[in-house]
Structure 1
Amino acid sequence: MTALITHADCLHHVTPDGHPERVARLEHLLHALEGLDLARVTAPLATEEDLLRCHPQDHIDAIRDGVPARGFAQVDGDTWLSPGSWDAALRAVGAALRAVDMVVAGEAANAFCATRPPGHHAETQTAMGFCLFGTAAIAAKHALDHHGLERVAVCDFDVHHGNGTQDLLWNEPRALTITSHQSPLWPGTGAASERGAHDNVINLPLPPRSGGAEMKKAWSELAFPRLSTFEPKLIIISAGFDAHQDDPLAMLEWTVDDFRWITRELCAIASTVCGGRVVSTLEGGYDLEALSAAARAHVEGLMEAAG
């Protein structure tokens, strides 16, 4: 069965009016998943020890101490803290860790973490791009160091390059990081020449106005063969849905069927190399209807793979 891991605390990370990464994103997504036969699991709070797998203590302290008692505190030009942000961020990381625990133990075939704030832009000592902590990278390190898995892959199809995940796993030879993203686009990283300290990073930059055909060609020719030969014992997906053609922050032209396709393909490889073990965590997606439809297709793909 597919597990859905979430927590109401993630609705208490509030951003200023007009901000694209808003509470309504998670509300709409959860509504879209109502009625699906999922194992619904409450996300625990991650611990500071969990965060230390990827971030130094001073970064953790800066986020915790920066949370305001009321109103908002600005971290950078587009990243904000509100009174509920600390617990929300810990729930987001905790959900991913619980998902890894469940999938590795065989308690769920795969899992989707419906949480916010997102995480894939958070670098080692820098919160940015709506992200506070590197959720997917922390989950990967948890799988490697806590569970002793030999190899883990992180596959990121958010429209913005996962600079944080790349930074956090750059020097980790046991982790393969694969990211497709629009280029040029913020944050400006993710060139194909960025390959990691151990040839463990694959970037798939896609031109503006490109759609599903270009995405499928890049993943099929440049990513899937390497993913298969790497033989990860777990695949972690950074599931951003802002490559959808209706998203206001970018200019790729994916459809709901494209998200369904990439989900099925990643699950098929997982079935071959790691017993189907997949953990997915929510990243971007800022048109509420597109987010809801694409996320439902993604979760339905996970459910199909779970059998």
Structure 2
Amino acid sequence: MTTAFITHDDCGLHNMGPEHPESPIRLIAIRKVLEKTGLMQELERIQSVHVLPEQIQLAHAHLHQKRLEMKLPEHGVVYTDDDTALCPDSLHAASLAAGSAILAVNRVIAGKAQNAFCAVRPPGHHAEHNNPMGFCFYNNAAIAAMHALQQPDIQRVAIFDFDVHQGNGTVDIFKDKPEVMVCSTFQHPFYPERYSDIVRDHIINCPMDAHSDGLVFRKLVESKWLPAIQAHKPDMIIISAGFDAHHEDPMADIKLDEEDYRWVTQFLMDAAKTYSKNRIVSILEGGYNPVSLAFSVQAHIEVLSGH
């Protein structure tokens, strides 16, 4: 079996303007690096599918999608908050992003792929149960986790989020669902400044001071994530794979590099081998320097695919 690489050109149609950091260029840069290195040819490339309304409602309020559709402009952009804008094709792209996560779960559980990476946008981990925010409309990782729990042999899921921003939306959705553990490393104090102090046994927040480096990150993962995994014993692992904690990323002040992403991916691969029958679905979140994003994704996928 190979690693599935799930994406769609239409994810590039979501465009919040030429100056916005969450740009279509992000996916173009990833594809170029994977193709130039030859790694793309070793992956099973699969085209995204649309998410169904009832699948969105696994993680979001019943009217969440309808409210977004009512705000969708016929032209230009309409802001849902200070950072997040809808253009005419935004929900089309968001539907493909969430549908990719569903497709990835299905293929991995069915044994058709050893694991999967969803190269999609818009990202999802800031989207709360009833609130789009932080460039996010549908919480792709949360939808994937809830869909996984509907499958017969999946009783517990773990979501691991190494984006530089805390996945407040994922925490909001699962704060009272202990069958889904959420582990998150993030710069603090920093956006989104929500749920960073929540106390739950299955919510493992790992804040890092600005300018923390890879050593700090690795120690946190080993000291906080490892015992949490051992206690939770997830049947499936989902990764909210944000790469904006890279030292070259303009959005924050954490100092990770490609080797740190390679290391944490191997850490999660080892955990999946022990507890989750190797079942991993990884979904792109942040990463706003196209060059460092592309090379970080390359390192991540190299580990997922056994290179």
Scaled by the length of structure 2, the TM-score of the pair is 0.96
* Distance in structure 2 (CA, Å) of the matches to 1:205 and 1:62: 33
Q: Is 1:126 paired with 2:131?
A: yes
Give the aligned partner of residue 58 of structure 1: 63
* Distance in structure 1 (CA, Å) of the matches to 2:133 and 2:57: 18
Give the aligned partner of residue 86 of structure 1: 91
Give the aligned partner of residue 175 of structure 2: 170
Q: Is 1:217 paired with 2:223?
A: no
One-letter amino acid of the counterpart of residue 15, structure 1? M
3-state secondary structure, aligned to 2:217? helix
Asked whether the equivalents of residues 245 and 253 of structure 1 are also in contact (C-alpha less than 8 Å), the reply is yes
Deviations 1:71-121 (A, max 9, x none): 111111010111111110010000000000000010000000000000000
One-letter amino acid of the counterpart of residue 2, structure 1? T
Deviations 1:10-37 (A, max 9, x none): 0100111210001101111121222210
* Deviation at residue 189 of structure 1 after TM alignment: 2.8
Asked whether the equivalents of residues 121 and 131 of structure 1 are also in contact (C-alpha less than 8 Å), the reply is yes
Give the aligned partner of residue 186 of structure 1: 191
Asked whether the equivalents of residues 134 and 168 of structure 1 are also in contact (C-alpha less than 8 Å), the reply is no
* Distance in structure 1 (CA, Å) of the matches to 2:152 and 2:93: 25
* Deviation at residue 213 of structure 1 after TM alignment: 0.3
Q: How many residues align?
A: 302
Aligned-residue CA RMSD in angstroms?
A: 1.1
Give the aligned partner of residue 8 of structure 2: 7
**Equivalent residue for 2:258, pick from 244, 253, 256:** 256
One-letter amino acid of the counterpart of residue 302, structure 1? L
* Distance in structure 2 (CA, Å) of the matches to 1:189 and 1:255: 26
Give the aligned partner of residue 156 of structure 2: 151
Asked whether the equivalents of residues 154 and 176 of structure 1 are also in contact (C-alpha less than 8 Å), the reply is yes
* Deviation at residue 224 of structure 1 after TM alignment: 1.2
Give the aligned partner of residue 304 of structure 2: 302
* Deviation at residue 190 of structure 1 after TM alignment: 4.6
Asked whether the equivalents of residues 172 and 195 of structure 2 are also in contact (C-alpha less than 8 Å), the reply is no
Asked whether the equivalents of residues 164 and 244 of structure 2 are also in contact (C-alpha less than 8 Å), the reply is yes
Asked whether the equivalents of residues 247 and 256 of structure 2 are also in contact (C-alpha less than 8 Å), the reply is yes
Deviations 1:123-172 (A, max 9, x none): 11110000001110110000002455110000000000000000011111
* Deviation at residue 222 of structure 1 after TM alignment: 1.1
State the identity %: 41
**Equivalent residue for 1:195, pick from 194, 199, 202:** 199
List aligned pairs for 1:106-125, cutoff 5 A. Answer: 106-125=111-130
3-state secondary structure, aligned to 2:63? helix
* Deviation at residue 228 of structure 1 after TM alignment: 2.5
3-state secondary structure, aligned to 1:98? helix
* Distance in structure 2 (CA, Å) of the matches to 1:133 and 1:148: 25
One-letter amino acid of the counterpart of residue 156, structure 1? D
List aligned pairs for 1:257-296, cutoff 5 A. Answer: 257-296=259-298
Deviations 1:229-259 (A, max 9, x none): 3110100000000000011010000011000
* Distance in structure 2 (CA, Å) of the matches to 1:66 and 1:245: 36
3-state secondary structure, aligned to 1:33? helix
* Distance in structure 2 (CA, Å) of the matches to 1:100 and 1:58: 25
Instruction: Flag structure 2 segments of 5+ consecutive residues without an equivalent.
Output: none
* Distance in structure 2 (CA, Å) of the matches to 1:167 and 1:59: 14
Asked whether the equivalents of residues 190 and 205 of structure 1 are also in contact (C-alpha less than 8 Å), the reply is no
3-state secondary structure, aligned to 1:178? strand
